[in-house]
Structure 1
Amino acid sequence: MKKNSYIGISFIVLLFGIWTVKELSERFKENDLKVLTKVPSFELTDQNGKKISDKSYLGKVYVVEFFFANCLTICPIMNKNLVQVQDEFYGNLDFGIASITIDPEHDTPAFLKEHAKTLGVKHPNWHFLTGNSDYIMNLANKGFYIQAGKDAKAQGGFGHSGQFALIDKDGNIRSRKDKFGNPILFYDGLEQAGIDALKEDIKLLLEE
């Protein structure tokens, strides 16, 4: 083989080595998702009558929403979008969802089980959670800082946010940053852009 051929092959090998190192460094470098705070402690009952707490989700990346089953405004959109997220990560047992009702008087475990069935919920780590009303309202507003409450003027009698919280495997609330470098805090559960961002960041956290 001619000398020039050896040089050519060596150059290709060198380029391949550089590309491989770069690819690995990009894959394993720390992501830019901001740690906001620890997830508040909670314990509620799911659609199967099982006690589920924040500790049940340790080791998993999960999404938290506050909703109610009889909501006819934003909740159906939020639930539908979470089904999309579920389908993206179906089969991954390191992923989960916590859907917490703000209407526990109506949303019993049995009712939530039917609601989950209607939605097409199939991921074993998607829990629809219910419990004491005051406890849940305190958890939403003072634990997660996601607005929720009774509102006689609102359709269905409750007003609440359409935002999702993203939690990492260690129980930290995480978020991406906006173009100014500020954390967005929560993910828009109503627009596709917010869902796309959520799915991208779930993937990042699953790789940690």
Structure 2
Amino acid sequence: MGGQSGDRAQGRNHEARVLRRHLPARVLVARRHTRGQSVSSEDEKTTAIGLLEREWHQLDTWLRSLSEAQLDRPVFSAGPGWRVRDMPTHMAWWQELAGRVAEKIAAEGGAPDERGSRPFLGIDTPFDELNATTHETWRERPMKDRWDRWLVAHSRMIDAFRALSPDQLLQGEGGLEGLKRYFAVPALIHLRSHRQNIEAALKETTTT
């Protein structure tokens, strides 16, 4: 019992760190009106997924434009030994997690409770161990493999989101960018946070 309670607290602390700089980006999904008729929930779902796609592709284009020297820069906030080149596979793991959650919801119903996505999937490994394992698994792999992993994980997540009903994916009041919180964090907020980490790392190394 004590270990589970500590793990939940650790998870909440991790999520708080990811969200802290992005709370101003929170928006509610509002019913818009076109020619006197409200936009359907399917339209809202399409809009939300479109936002995820645009932000991911913008980040993907930027990351792929970095030089080998930039990819080797240390990312100070990510942990000892982490470099920019380690971030795509790190973010991919969490996007794939969101995809797995969506797949389970589509197949079985239900949804993560306040404990989050990992218990919903039967994962009891702490966040830090999961991140460390991903880093160790991929740290010697070539960038081609990392880019492939990054794309496959994102595609799996988007396909899984498209298979959900609007009610399963979207949340207005209490959501983030119109999405359920457990989808918004790995799909969008996490990427925004780590883009800031990478930008800070690149800026730091050019001024020291």
TM-score w.r.t. the length of structure 1 is 0.27
Relative to total residues, which structure has the larger strand share, 1 or 2?
1
Relative to total residues, which structure has the larger helix share, 1 or 2?
2
TM-score w.r.t. the length of structure 2 is 0.27
Rg (Cα) greater in structure: 1
Higher relative contact order (CA 8 A, sep 6+): 2
